Amino acid sequence: MNVRFTGSYEEFREKLQHISGVWRDLNPNQKQLRTPAGGVLNWYPSTGSLTFQGNSPGAEKLRDEVIAALTGTPVDAAPGLTPQRETVPERHGAEVTVPVPMATAESGAGRSGLLQRAFSESELVFALIGAVGTELQKVRGILDDWLRKAGYSVRQIRITQDVIPKIVENIPRSGSSEYDRLSGLMDAGNEARATSGDNSILALGAAAYINSQRSKDENGCPQHVPRCAYVISSLKHPDEVGRLREIYPQGFYLIGVHADEKRRFDYLTKDKSISDAKANELIDRDENEHLPHGQRVADTFHLSDFFVRIDGQDDHLKDSVWRILELLFGNPYVTPTFDEYAMFLAFAASLSSADLSRQVGAVVAVDEQVVATGANDCPRANGGRYWPVRNPKTHRIEDQEDGRDYMRGEDSNKVEQQKIIDEILDRAEKTGLDREKVREALDASRIRDLTEFGRVVHAEMDALLSCGRIRAPTQGGTLYCTTFPCHNCAKHIVGAGIHRVVFIEPYEKSKAAEFHSDSIQVGFADLGSPPDDRRMVCFEPFVGVGPRRFFDLFSIRLGSGYPVERKNVAGRVMEWKAGQSGLRLQMLPASYLDLEFVAGDMFNKARSAVTELGNGG
Ligand SMILES: [Zn+2]
């Protein structure tokens, strides 16, 4: 029997006030009562569920008292309410007691599958992101078709229909023009973020909506839906991604959908009959609104797990989405493209950076051969960057004193910027200008975007300089970088003869495209050469499986999910079929606290078996 309490924390404490013990407000969704006899009660206000832990018999006593207080029924009178626990003789005489949480008590036996990789009923949550005018419905349709064939049910969650109307009153009415509708929805999203003071509010709404659609058991507890996928369209803010990753750590995937600006403009003007001027306005606004609670698609897109592209050829898109799904469902023959592999190495290189503000990585490859890697960090004498090494005197792995910025205690770029600002303020004051007004003007300017005085070598330059040190030509090479190059690196990349740059994260401060419009083309290489057939250096957004999930999905043994096999004992290649395999990364309908109980259950069963054997049974 499950007992739940869905009232307020105050009411809960009042009902249990006769039980002596210490209350702890652990977090908004966990309140705890510890009794002197060693019983522990956890109450989870969001679902109302209760769990009991602690030493025997304190835990059982607390449990009986709580049930009696909440149900008004003494435990003795209610059949089935005796404390449920497994008791097995300890091999050396003592007794091991594993109390089973009430929420999982009845189903304890069937739940052992959760810890044996036998669970294949996992739910799955996708979210899509794309700039305004991107035909996300195409991706939704492909996901839907494939997942249904794989035996999944699919539920679509539209933020604009299922979430925003629940929190914002003034949303565009049906019958308004497409421009009014889209711009009204952007306003409504901003309003929801601003009034709640939480930039993840629409993601919270999406999770709440999914929860509201779940069927409930006899006690009103929401139920897991076997093999169900949810597709949320679409995210607009980085905090929404963070929130969904927090709620569905193993089972959430963000798909970034690229469509070049011309294609999106054509869709808005031709398919949606929006005027050219208004279409451009929507595109600019959508990318990055410089408002505290505005939408920030450009800052969110690069957080994706997968990047796909709509290029007008539906077969390309379908194949890209299918490949992602096959990878998620354990197809052991989906292996990385060279771009995916090189970008993962660039990401790995970025992790070595000790820069105070961001970690950036780069890889130079020539003819699909990685030649050098680089990260943004301080250079050391005689070439390369600093690495921490073991100091023979202290026996510790240490960094060189006064080497990297963190060892020197400051970011020289920010320090110099401030000196320049102070210098301007002093001079302005001497000429009779108002110091505070000048400060305001400077703060509103881009003076703090200057990168001139940084001590770090940028990742792209670090990789190019490595090529120089090992005498490896960069002519005709490809440079992979986790972040779009700054204008400073860009001119050296062009000068080095690199012919293609692949990047993930945008870098708003970069003037590369503007300053070098003669030599750099930003966008996909196949969009066409300029009319005078000069060969431009193409700066191309990354497409494919991003670095975030690379390890989990491509490693056949070491990822977080189940290992995959490629051959049978006879050495024959194993067949893989979509509908017959489970997700590699299962989202278990249990918390780690539940799983500890399952573990205890399994442990005790094993001990019983061992003991019986020992007794000759
Ligand atoms: Zn740079």
Q: How many Å lie between the centroid of ligand 1 and the Cα of residue 456?
A: 10
How confident is residue 382, by pLDDT bands cut at 50, 70 and 90? very high
From 46, 62, 66, 65, select the one nearest 54 (Cα to Cα). 62
Q: How many Å lie between the centroid of ligand 1 and the Cα of residue 468?
A: 17
pLDDT of residue 87: 32
Q: How many Å lie between the centroid of ligand 1 and the Cα of residue 609?
A: 64
* Cα–Cα distance list, 387 to 201, 346, 352, 357, 380 (Å): 42, 17, 8, 18, 9
pLDDT of residue 74: 61
Q: How many Å lie between the centroid of ligand 1 and the Cα of residue 360?
A: 9
Spatial separation of the C-alpha atoms in residues 305 and 302, rounded to whole Å = 8
Q: How many Å lie between the centroid of ligand 1 and the Cα of residue 458?
A: 5
Q: How many Å lie between the centroid of ligand 1 and the Cα of residue 479?
A: 13
Q: How many Å lie between the centroid of ligand 1 and the Cα of residue 463?
A: 11
> Do 433 and 424 meet the contact criterion of CB atoms below 8 Å apart?
no
CA 145, 297, 184 angle in degrees (round to 5)? 90
Spatial separation of the C-alpha atoms in residues 378 and 158, rounded to whole Å = 46
Spatial separation of the C-alpha atoms in residues 482 and 503, rounded to whole Å = 5
Three-class SS string for 546-567? CHHHHHHHHCCCCCCCCCCCCE
* Cα–Cα distance list, 116 to 94, 168, 250, 561 (Å): 28, 45, 17, 12
Q: How many Å lie between the centroid of ligand 1 and the Cα of residue 485?
A: 5
pLDDT of residue 527: 61
Q: What is the pLDDT of residues 132-158, one digit of tens each?
A: 999 999 999 999 999 999 889 999 999
pLDDT of residue 459: 98
Name the least confident of 104-108, 149-153, 180-184. Answer: 104-108
- Is the model's pLDDT at 247 over the cut of 50? yes
Q: What is the pLDDT of residues 422-469, one digit of tens each?
A: 999 999 999 999 999 999 999 888 888 888 899 999 999 999 999 999
User: What mean pLDDT comes out for the span 358-385?
Assistant: 97
Give the ranges where 431-559 is alpha helix by DSSP (H): 435-444, 459-469, 487-495, 512-515, 550-554
Total-model pTM? 0.80
pLDDT of residue 111: 65
How confident is residue 18, by pLDDT bands cut at 50, 70 and 90? confident
% of the chain beyond a pLDDT of 70? 91
How confident is the prediction for the chain on average, in pLDDT?
A: 87
Q: How many Å lie between the centroid of ligand 1 and the Cα of residue 358?
A: 12
Spatial separation of the C-alpha atoms in residues 399 and 354, rounded to whole Å = 10
pLDDT of residue 96: 31
Q: How many Å lie between the centroid of ligand 1 and the Cα of residue 64?
A: 65
CA-CA-CA-CA torsion sign (254, 255, 257, 258) = positive
How confident is residue 498, by pLDDT bands cut at 50, 70 and 90? very high
Amino acid identity of residue 343, one-letter, is M
Report residues near ion ligand 1: CB below 5 Å.
Answer: 458, 486, 489
Q: How would you class 28 by CB atoms within 10 Å of its CB: exposed for 0-12, middle for 13-18, buried for 19 or more?
A: exposed
How confident is residue 107, by pLDDT bands cut at 50, 70 and 90? very low
